[in-house]
Structure 1
Amino acid sequence: MSTGAWVAVVAIAVALAFGLFRMLSDGRFRGTKELHVPHEDHPREPHAWDAVTDALGETELGARATLVQFSSAFCAPCRATRRILADVAEIVPGVVHLEVDAEHHLDLVRRLDILRTPTTLVIDGGGFEIARASGAPRKEQVLSAIPAMDLES
């Protein structure tokens, strides 16, 4: 096999591996660094919600969860994410969906370490970020991120 053929095979293998990685990780919610048990010496501070209200003014925090979506004008997955998050906010009591235009709120994007659109933050009723997903999540993924909060209360 010639060198060119080997280069082509390696390039195809790398592209397939990257595509598989993106398919498996895109839209998956993961816990965030703010998720910890507070105690007397180190109480939690609602950094994520403070950052959102500092940038956008007074907005409504959901009793159970607020789904904060960072999107941009030319982001095709952002439209699908908007529909999914709006559906979840309608069917789950106490959940609010808030969409933020990342292009117009770059300070907030930097402060919350948003690397791509769409990115969805799950903020609990106390204003703490408990999970985030980069990419377009599926409805089941969003719903499974919400029960991590206390839905019985």
Structure 2
Amino acid sequence: MTQVWVVLGVLALTGALGLLYRWRNGKVRAAVPIEQLPEEIRTVLAAAPAITLVQLSTTFCAPCRHTKVLLGDVVRQEPRLHHVELDVTERPELAERLKIMRTPTTLVVDARERELFRISGLPKRDELLNALRPLLD
């Protein structure tokens, strides 16, 4: 009987963690405080318009490809936005400096090199547009 309870407990814990993961995936989150953005990102921002969507990806990341398509579509609809994808596969120190725990992660950065907010995972289009709207007004 004890084994049945252990199995049920493990299943319940796994289910709860799965729900938590799905709930957090693609949510707009507050910016992570960083002293100064790394040079790779500051270089990208030099020629960018008001707001840049910096997508941090890895080579074999399937959600990264979907994120690239989604962000590209959002940028085509709004000319004041710019989208850049940086591959952190060979640059783990960049991911560490930016406190990136998973890919894709999208940083929303303004022209003054300030991170406004970030999204871990595949962004939810409506949530992203709602978060960007006040920045573009």
Scaled by the length of structure 1, what TM-score is found?
Answer: 0.80
Amino acid at match of 2:22: M
Amino acid at match of 1:117: T
For residue 84 of structure 2, what is the aligned residue in structure 1? Answer: 98
* 1:55 correspondence with 2:40: yes
Q: Structure 1 residue runs of 4+, over 3 Å off? A: none
Deviations 1:102-125 (A, max 9, x none): 112222211111111011100023
> Structure 1 or 2: larger helix share?
2
What RMSD in Å do the two structures reach over aligned CA positions? 2.0
In 2: Cα distance, 1:123 partner to 1:6 partner = 49
> What is the number of equivalent residue pairs in this alignment?
136
Deviations 1:95-148 (A, max 9, x none): 011101011222221111111101110002322101011111121122122124
Q: Is the 8 A contact 1:86 1:97 kept in 2?
A: yes
Cα offset for 1:75?
Answer: 0.9
Q: Is the 8 A contact 1:88 1:142 kept in 2?
A: no
Cα offset for 1:57?
Answer: 7.4
In 2: Cα distance, 1:6 partner to 1:138 partner = 37
Amino acid at match of 2:30: G
For residue 79 of structure 1, what is the aligned residue in structure 2? Answer: 65
Scaled by the length of structure 2, what TM-score is found?
Answer: 0.89
For residue 142 of structure 1, what is the aligned residue in structure 2? Answer: 128
For residue 116 of structure 2, what is the aligned residue in structure 1? Answer: 130
Unaligned runs of 5+ in 2: none
In 1: Cα distance, 2:126 partner to 2:41 partner = 29
Amino acid at match of 1:55: E
Q: Is the 8 A contact 1:55 1:105 kept in 2?
A: no
Q: Is the 8 A contact 1:68 1:99 kept in 2?
A: yes
In 2: Cα distance, 1:93 partner to 1:46 partner = 29
In 2: Cα distance, 1:125 partner to 1:57 partner = 9
After superposition, the Cα gap between the structure-2 partners of 1:46 and 1:65, relative to the gap in structure 1 and judged at 3 Å, is farther
